[in-house]
Structure 1
Amino acid sequence: MAGTSAKRLKQEMPMPLLLTNDDIAPLLDPLAVINILDQTYSAFALGTGVTAPRLDLQASKNNAGEAYQLGIAAGLSGRYGALRIKSDMTYRREVAGRPRKEKYCVEPGTYCGLILLFSLENGELLAILHDGLIQKMRVGADSALGARYLAREDAAVLGILGAGGMARTHIDTITMIRPIEQVRIYSPTEANREALAVYGRARGLDTKAVESPEAAFDGADIISACTNAVGPVIHGPHLAPGMHITSIGGTLDTHASARVDVALRLGNATAPTEMPDWRFEEECMSFVPDVGKSEAGGTRRFADVPLSRLIMLRELLNAPKRGRCTPEQITFSERGNIHGVQFAGVAGLIYERALAQGLGTPMGSETFLQNIRN
């Protein structure tokens, strides 16, 4: 964190800042994001910070089979509070015979996601950030952080299912914390997997686009599911001893979940004061007006590993030997539903870097303050 220097720069600059994806791009250092999330999650695990679970509010489907969804994540961490809002039209389409989740705002190809960053010192709105690039990097950093804690130290082969922006940031982040030499990419869309292979080779990695999921698993030390597929994409028979698994899109089937020896969850949402024994572990809490959530909404759970094999980050920090014990173990990691502190940590980092480099568009606090008590 920039600390005192950030405070001094803030006093010299009108607030809040508007930070677009163009402003954010040069500020997103993969290792810095991994490290700030490590700090943020560790502090949260030890009792510092507050986060609600992600909330999805979904309207009934329209005549085109699309459902409007308002996604909300909020949390407090360190000196910052963050509110992330996302406005999507969600729907499904078929790709290579499998259902895929899709979304847009206004029209296909455009999206609306914003992070509001607040000061915990005086409540001031400090910044409004586009969430596009942050979204991809934060998710890649989560997987890298799980690999930092559980993947074998000598992990050298990364297998990826999917070839979009999330898959790209998995290359950017996981290569920061393990000596990855080879990357194997499968996507049902040949052009996408070939394009990502070019991206990997440009970074000095032996990267190949492969023609089946099985080929991506073959010889992999770390396997990352980064698809928008609905349902299982990681199957038990494809796993091999020593693998580490991450999944941010698509799920583990029952056999794969059963083969996991150690699973790490980085955190669970804070229990409400009125319900101290409340425990909610699914990825998001959904509110719908009718029979159920659209199939194109957020994934509720990526794996169903037996509780006896699950360890929370808090427990791992207190007893590191409860993590990977042998090179042969199959391990799995997931963030859990602590999106709020995640956004506070990453948005705070980006905000401080923007101040230090003079990036962003000042908007003036008077635009966002009123003299009528609300």
Structure 2
Amino acid sequence: MTDTQNDGLLIVGEDLCEKLVGRADAFEAVEAVFAAMAKGDAYNFPVIREAIGYADALYGFKSGFDRAGKNLGVKSGGFWPGNMAKGLTNHQSTVFLFDPDTGKLSALVGGNYLTAVRTAASSSVSIQHLARKDAKVLGMVGAGHQSHFQMRAAAEQRDFEKVVAWNPHPDMLPKLGETAKELGLEFEAVTPEQLGAQADVIITITSAFEPLLMKDWIKPGTHIACMGTDTKGKMEVDPALVAAATVFTDEIAQSISIGEAQHAIASGALKEDQITPIGKVINGDHPGRTSEAEITLFDGTGVGLQDLAVASVAARLAAESGEAIRVKL
């Protein structure tokens, strides 16, 4: 990243992150860090994620070092389920970036918007590299805050004509329909079975602990991006569907322990060596999709290096624009 240490600590707030970091920036940063991970040039440190016993909150840390991008840091934050009633985003986080040459804190970057845009970029990267080129129908399972970011990012990767959507709370679907309309896409609220029958690409972005999509509902050639499962016990799709698909992920260690693959792995239906880091596809070391009928599945668990990558972009752009706050520690 650009040296931000010359004039003290750089502070980049949420509004500035949203102003400066677009979907293309996030896509490029996430794709690059996945490629670096696959080459062994970047690695994540063990994740800490705990219930704090207060406000029903989950709190934790994601950290790592990208030698290729020179990004070192930690994302700190979690999930406060009561925040929505207070007019706040349930997910709250901040990214701390350090100078890898000296260890000095170089930037403090708001993580809420960046978490949303980097998560959408992750599924978008998987669609770019794994979905059929002729995909026309996008399926959305989930209609929360993150789903709008997911839809906008996905729409840039294929020439979609229609969005079909299902959400456990149907009253949230009309707002998702408005986003589809903004993108010029037809929108239809459907049952999960109908969604599986129509969609060429499916994004699941929920906090479910039970399968919402079953194996028999999915048609051949579908690409599925499972983006909601990031904790032990969570589940969005039928483990039999995971086992039947060609599985890719951001990081294998998280995929088998806290990701969508955890249940298929636990039952023995899927083996660890059957999961491929998507960085290998990006680098040309794996062919990705090998047939039009193949079902591909991306297990997007969310890794700290993604957060560091997009936060580094925000810090660089803020430093270049002169709009960030600088303080001396």
Matches within 5 A, 1:7-26: 7=3, 10=4, 14-26=7-19
Cα distance per residue 1:108-156 (max 9 Å; x no partner): 7455321111121222222212211111111111111112221111112
Residue 321 of structure 2 aligns with an amino acid whose one-letter code is Q
Structure 2 residue matching 1:177: 3-state secondary structure: coil
Task: Confirm or deny that 1:282 pairs with 2:257.
Answer: yes
Q: Structure 1 131/105 Cα, relative in aligned 2: closer, same or farther at 3 Å?
A: farther
Matches within 5 A, 1:131-146: 131-146=111-126
Q: Structure 1 131/11 Cα, relative in aligned 2: closer, same or farther at 3 Å?
A: closer
CA distance in structure 1 between the aligned counterparts of 2:264 and 2:96, rounded to whole angstroms: 31
The residue that corresponds to 1:233 in the other structure is 212
CA distance in structure 1 between the aligned counterparts of 2:114 and 2:89, rounded to whole angstroms: 16
Cα distance per residue 1:165-223 (max 9 Å; x no partner): 21111112112222222111222333321011111111222223x14222332311101
Residue 25 of structure 2 aligns with an amino acid whose one-letter code is A
The residue that corresponds to 1:191 in the other structure is 171
Structure 1 residue matching 2:132: 3-state secondary structure: coil
Structure 2 residue matching 1:83: 3-state secondary structure: strand
User: Which residue among 349, 353, 356 is the counterpart of 2:317?
Assistant: 353
1:68, distance to aligned residue in structure 2 (A)? 4.1
CA distance in structure 2 between the aligned counterparts of 1:256 and 1:268, rounded to whole angstroms: 18
The residue that corresponds to 1:27 in the other structure is 20
Task: Confirm or deny that 1:306 pairs with 2:233.
Answer: no
The answer (yes or no) to whether the contact 1:54–1:283 under 8 Å persists in 2 is no
Matches within 5 A, 1:182-221: 182-208=162-188, 210-221=189-200
The answer (yes or no) to whether the contact 2:45–2:63 under 8 Å persists in 1 is yes
1:315, distance to aligned residue in structure 2 (A)? 4.6
The answer (yes or no) to whether the contact 1:223–1:245 under 8 Å persists in 2 is yes
The residue that corresponds to 2:94 in the other structure is 114
1:104, distance to aligned residue in structure 2 (A)? 3.9
Cα distance per residue 1:47-97 (max 9 Å; x no partner): 11231132112345x6xxx644321100111222121111545xxxxxxxx
Residue 243 of structure 1 aligns with an amino acid whose one-letter code is T
User: Which residue among 127, 134, 150 is the counterpart of 1:147?
Assistant: 127
Task: Confirm or deny that 1:75 pairs with 2:64.
Answer: yes
Q: Which runs of 5+ in 1 are unaligned?
A: 90-101, 270-278, 285-298, 367-374
Cα distance per residue 1:239-291 (max 9 Å; x no partner): 0001001112242213322331x11123245xxxxxxxxx984238xxxxxxx
The residue that corresponds to 2:240 in the other structure is 255
The answer (yes or no) to whether the contact 1:225–1:234 under 8 Å persists in 2 is no
The residue that corresponds to 2:109 in the other structure is 129
The answer (yes or no) to whether the contact 1:49–1:75 under 8 Å persists in 2 is yes
The answer (yes or no) to whether the contact 2:252–2:276 under 8 Å persists in 1 is no
Task: Please say which structure displays the higher CA radius of gyration.
Answer: 1
The answer (yes or no) to whether the contact 1:27–1:354 under 8 Å persists in 2 is yes
Task: Confirm or deny that 1:37 pairs with 2:30.
Answer: yes
Q: Structure 1 105/188 Cα, relative in aligned 2: closer, same or farther at 3 Å?
A: closer
The answer (yes or no) to whether the contact 1:282–1:301 under 8 Å persists in 2 is yes
CA distance in structure 2 between the aligned counterparts of 1:202 and 1:253, rounded to whole angstroms: 32
Residue 96 of structure 2 aligns with an amino acid whose one-letter code is L
Task: Confirm or deny that 1:180 pairs with 2:160.
Answer: yes
Task: Confirm or deny that 1:340 pairs with 2:304.
Answer: yes
The residue that corresponds to 1:46 in the other structure is 39
Q: Which runs of 5+ in 2 are unaligned?
A: 229-234
The answer (yes or no) to whether the contact 1:247–1:302 under 8 Å persists in 2 is no
1:33, distance to aligned residue in structure 2 (A)? 0.9
Structure 2 residue matching 1:218: 3-state secondary structure: helix
Structure 2 residue matching 1:71: 3-state secondary structure: strand
CA distance in structure 2 between the aligned counterparts of 1:110 and 1:149, rounded to whole angstroms: 31
The answer (yes or no) to whether the contact 2:206–2:236 under 8 Å persists in 1 is no
TM-score where L is the length of structure 1? 0.76
Structure 2 residue matching 1:341: 3-state secondary structure: helix
TM-score where L is the length of structure 2? 0.85
RMSD of Structure 2 on Structure 1 (CA): 2.7
